[in-house]
Structure 1
Amino acid sequence: MFLILLVSVFLAWLVVRQYQKVSRLPPGPVSLPLIGNVPQIVYYLWSTGGIVSTLDLFRKRYGNVFTLWLGPLPHVSIADYETALEVFVKNANKYADKFHAPLFEAIRNDKGVAGTNGHHWQEMKRFALQTFRNMGVGKDVMELKIIEELDARCADIDKAAVNGVTTIQASDFFDLTVGSIINNILVGKRFDEENKEEFLKVKHSVDSAIEIVSLFDMILPVWVLKTFFKVHYDTVINFNEQTRDFVGKEADIRDIQIKSGEYSIDENNIKDYTDAFLLKIQKDGEDKDFNIETLKTMIVDLWTTGQETTTTTLISGFNQLLLHPEVMDKARVEIMEITENRSRNLSLSDRPKTPYLNAMIGEIQRHASILNINFWRINHEPTYMGGHMVDSGALVAAQLSALHINETVFENPEKFDPERYIRDESLLQKVIPFGVGKRACLGESLARSELYLIFGNLLLRYNFKPHGKLSTADIFPYSFAKRPFKLEMQFVKI
């Protein structure tokens, strides 16, 4: 009898405690002590068919700011542009700390820029941004590198053409194009006939890792993954090690060559990010922030994020353009006029004169919206968001996937309609694929340049036709990031 009473009191205490916590948070589905909303989330993931549709359902039911409990932790999702701006931009310093999934922490080992907070993150971000500025990212010199790489890939396409037509897997073409650009920036090497097969193999490992990482990998402790999902855990770790070995190989080689005197860095002619990082170590010595292991982790962070988001957006974009050839034709007419009927390449300086191309790319980014689940920030003190109290200790994120299909912001969000940004120019700034605030993507400037130059100049050079079926469906709707449809298409020389 006493035991029953004790258990009853304990359960009552848990319920009251949960109610008290819920009262200090935005609305959401009824949560249970300890397990939170996990049962409802699992049900709606199954019944709606994916993470994005589940988030959208909760947004419609509870408003643009809502709470989901993943186990004992409350997660506040923001699916409204103005609220996201207020929270993460106007109060940016409050939300610089990111919640890192235990799995990611185990992989990154408190190094790099993607999986750290505090002093180390600030140092890595500052150094990366300064190095990229010094290397001309976002400037004419970087434009030349992007066009040079695009020219090389187009030369391969033209060489393989039969009667002016080349049929390819879009993923291979864009992976190699974007991969070469970012690899050149990081380690000074592009991918060619000698090493492209190795690159594509590693890229496949990256894709496989992203495809199998789910919502629950983002919250479960490592010991749970190791104990109950060991095969899954080992697979993710192995994929990460393959990527790290591949992209960090040049850093190891160069470090050894510097120490042996075979390689020297010209301070006035920094070739790439690796040179800049190793020069910093040469000058100041290794410390807990600047060392070879951190360099390799930074290369993985920058290489993976710089590669994945841009490539996925390009593939998703051409899927949309092949489904809406009238959009492709209209953009081409605008570009032809600006470049005087292809007498020159499209340049970044043309951006103000290409409103339709800008709108087309914006609509592609809205539909692509790479992250199904955005990374969470830590709320350190009680505050208000969208008129709702948010208690300290809650995790907060602007859920871009839900924001980009919010019908109160984007009318008929399922429709691919670049004209929406012509009708309302202010709408384009509400497409935020790179995130907002201090933890926004470091490579935003480079990615925007790549998308503009690659989309624009490919439309100048080729007509495009589908080869096989088309689909805009997310082929892995339960993974934390979108994976594009396996698109095969034809390049038809103009």
Structure 2
Amino acid sequence: MFGISEFLVALVAFLLIVQFLKLQWAGRQLPPGPTPLPFIGNLWLLGFKLHPETLEKLAQIHGNIFTLWLGQSPVIVLHGFQAVKDGLTNNPEDVSGRPTTPFFNEKASDKGIILTSGHTWKQQRRFGLMTLRNLGMGKKGLEQLIQEEARYLVEYLTSERGQPLDPSVSFSQAFSNVICAVVLGHRFSTDDETLQQLLEANDCLLKSGGSLSERLYNTFPWLMDHLPGPHKKMVSSHEFMYRFAKEEIRCHRERGVPDEPQDFIDFYLAQMVKCRDDPTSTFDEDSLIHTILDLFIAGTESTATTLRWALISLVLHPDVQGERKAKEGTHLDAWHVGSDPVLPLFIRQM
């Protein structure tokens, strides 16, 4: 008779064989590439990182168009200028979609803008761009709002003169408030607890991208759902931001959509009513929630990071900061965080 240990070994062996055959079957319609192993694909061959040198060697073996398996997800690699040019110009529709993963498939559910493709992406993106332009994006209508946040930011930095500080936090607060004002119709005070939680959740989701915990989740989603670990923080961060957006929508609905919409949520709710009987419409509350998250996540970190790089440039070139600041002794190269200067801190972070 088989004991428990023998049964478990047999079960694992069976699952490995099934997974291997499944990958072989799925790869029949894909370009050639290195043989994937069950569950981890070609991650072992890549050292769990995408190094250009490794891709160069694989291209010499399998050609300029080959398939890699990152876990259970196939990735088509175009190597070299000609392969990339042909892919983008001759087959634009085939390379225009977003890669999907089990984590974001479960959380985004083909909603919003960033993680969608095809009809949904086209409809949501077109509406998003049109609405943001109506709200002043790229026009002077948004200038006053940005100047207001810039004034709060300058006042904060001025109040901390001579004291150790990390300005990256205040940068994120300022830009997130611009997004909140446009999308939600209001800003938060810099010491608001909800704003702090939003920024922490946003930071967690961005840092988790490409992390080991995310790769494990995407490789074994059914298993990781029942195990503790850093991926649980990813899930809780997404759930917090989801609840936040849902609550903002509820408040807007209770207030009622005005005759002249004041923010992105107002415009979207009006569009939902307008497209109520359109069977091709992708406008619903869940899509609105994920679009809010897309705008917040993408609009906050990208701009704050750009400003941090600008700050580094000022540190390296203090002569461009202006004669008045030089006389007051407020050169950015005199700013410190604890015992470390700002410049090394930012370089370590990026």
TM class by smaller structure: 0.7 to 0.9
How far 1:320 moved relative to its partner? Answer: 5.7
Q: TM-score, normalised by structure 1?
A: 0.54
- Indicate the residue corresponding to 1:359 in structure 2: none
Could you tell me how far apart the structure 1 residues matched to 2:248 and 2:55 are? 46
- Indicate the residue corresponding to 2:113 in structure 1: 113
Matched, 1:156 2:156: yes
- Indicate the residue corresponding to 1:95 in structure 2: 95
**Equivalent residue runs for 1:162-311 within 5 Å:** 162=161, 165=162, 167-193=164-190, 195=192, 197-213=193-209, 214=211, 216-217=215-216, 219-227=218-226, 229-258=227-256, 264-267=257-260, 270-285=261-276, 289-311=282-304
The SS at the match of 1:99 is coil
Match of 1:38 among 32, 38, 43: 43
CA distance change for structure 1 residues 181 and 23 in 2, over 3 Å: closer, same or farther? closer
- The alignment of Structure 1 onto Structure 2 pairs a total of residues equal to 312
- Indicate the residue corresponding to 2:331 in structure 1: 463
Which runs of 5 or more structure 2 residues have no equivalent in the other structure?
1-13, 325-329
The SS at the match of 2:331 is strand
Percent identical among aligned pairs is 23
CA distance change for structure 1 residues 251 and 81 in 2, over 3 Å: closer, same or farther? farther
Could you tell me how far apart the structure 1 residues matched to 2:247 and 2:216 are? 28
Maintained 8 Å contact 1:108/1:115: yes
Q: Deviations over 1:423-459 (max 9, x none)?
A: xxxxxxxxxxxxxxxxxxxxxxxxxxxxxxxxxxxxx
Maintained 8 Å contact 1:174/1:311: yes
> Which is richer in helix?
2
Q: Deviations over 1:90-120 (max 9, x none)?
A: 7433333323111101111332122333322
The SS at the match of 1:138 is coil
How far 1:243 moved relative to its partner? Answer: 1.6
- Indicate the residue corresponding to 1:314 in structure 2: 307
CA distance change for structure 1 residues 316 and 32 in 2, over 3 Å: closer, same or farther? same
Maintained 8 Å contact 2:67/2:76: yes
Q: TM-score, normalised by structure 2?
A: 0.73
The SS at the match of 1:69 is strand
Could you tell me how far apart the structure 2 residues matched to 1:318 and 1:181 are? 20
CA distance change for structure 1 residues 101 and 147 in 2, over 3 Å: closer, same or farther? same
The SS at the match of 1:124 is helix
Maintained 8 Å contact 1:101/1:217: no
The SS at the match of 1:31 is coil
Could you tell me how far apart the structure 2 residues matched to 1:80 and 1:176 are? 41
The SS at the match of 1:75 is strand
The SS at the match of 2:266 is helix
- Indicate the residue corresponding to 2:51 in structure 1: 55
The SS at the match of 1:189 is coil
Q: CA RMSD in A?
A: 3.7
The SS at the match of 2:225 is helix
The SS at the match of 1:265 is coil
Maintained 8 Å contact 1:178/1:307: yes
Maintained 8 Å contact 2:42/2:69: yes
Maintained 8 Å contact 1:248/1:300: no
CA distance change for structure 1 residues 212 and 24 in 2, over 3 Å: closer, same or farther? closer
Q: Deviations over 1:304-330 (max 9, x none)?
A: 1111222233334434653xx13x64x
How far 1:217 moved relative to its partner? Answer: 4.8
How far 1:89 moved relative to its partner? Answer: 6.2
Could you tell me how far apart the structure 1 residues matched to 2:81 and 2:347 are? 24
Which runs of 5 or more structure 1 residues have no equivalent in the other structure?
1-6, 46-50, 259-263, 343-461, 476-483, 486-494
* Larger RCO: 1 or 2 (CA < 8 Å, sep 6+): 1
Letter in 2 for 1:133: R
How far 1:69 moved relative to its partner? Answer: 2.5
Q: Deviations over 1:251-294 (max 9, x none)?
A: 21011221xxxxx4133xx3221111012124343876222232
Could you tell me how far apart the structure 2 residues matched to 1:210 and 1:187 are? 22
Could you tell me how far apart the structure 2 residues matched to 1:70 and 1:284 are? 39
Could you tell me how far apart the structure 2 residues matched to 1:89 and 1:286 are? 37
- Indicate the residue corresponding to 2:11 in structure 1: none
The SS at the match of 2:188 is coil
CA distance change for structure 1 residues 313 and 283 in 2, over 3 Å: closer, same or farther? same
CA distance change for structure 1 residues 85 and 203 in 2, over 3 Å: closer, same or farther? farther
How far 1:220 moved relative to its partner? Answer: 2.0
